[in-house]
Amino acid sequence: MALDLILWLFIFFSVIGLIGMNAYQLINLTDLEFDYINLYDSSSRINAIVIPEFVVQGAVCAVFLLTCHWFPFLIMAPITYYHVRLYRKRAHLLDVTEIFSLIPGEKKYRLIKLGFYVSIFLITIYRLVVAAVIALIHEDGPDGVIFESGIY
């Protein structure tokens, strides 16, 4: 039971990282849209985060598959497939010369992913709480007693 709790803690922090990376990309696109940052800095910052995001998201999906958590795996599989497809077509990085024409589409894509990651985060919080409660309930003492009290 403690392994399930450790699994959900790992997923919890991974999803927080995914939300943070996606929010960082959205902030950079918004700064570029309002001309607070130049083209090269914005695209290099976003491109530096794309591969780690894909790796973390793929790792989370693989962990769900390996631990037989089918519902979260089936939710994560389509976006993992989409990330693999983007990477294989070499379409995962932003081009400095075309970034201005792509800003609305890129913002929409990242907002959809952010909503997706927030929904996964809510599922993860629920499962983390359930795993913690189960781990606390099943934590037996040396005599097999769950809770010891002085009253017999």
Does a structural domain hold residue 97? yes
Does a structural domain hold residue 144? no
Does a structural domain hold residue 148? no
Does a structural domain hold residue 145? no
- State residue 77's pLDDT score: 94
Side-chain-facing half-sphere of 46: CA atoms under 13 Å: 27
Residue 63 domain boundaries = 2-137
Does a structural domain hold residue 150? no
DSSP string, the chain: -HHHHHHHHHHHHHHHHHHHHHHHHHHHHHHHHTTSS-HHHHHHHHHHHHHHHHHHHHHHHHHHHHTT-HHHHHHHHHHHHHHHHHHHTT-SSPPGGGHHHHHHHHHHHHHHHHHHHHHHHHHHHHHHHHHHHHHHHT---TTS-SS--S--
Could you give the number of structural domains in the chain?
1
Does a structural domain hold residue 152? no
**Chain length of the chain:** 152
Does a structural domain hold residue 132? yes
Does a structural domain hold residue 26? yes
Answer yes or no: are the C-beta atoms of 113 and 80 closer than 8 Å: no
- State residue 136's pLDDT score: 85
pLDDT, one tens digit per residue, over 65-115 is 999 999 999 999 999 999 999 999 998 888 888 888 889 999 999 999 999
Answer yes or no: are the C-beta atoms of 140 and 146 closer than 8 Å: yes
- The pLDDT of 133-145, averaged and rounded, is 69
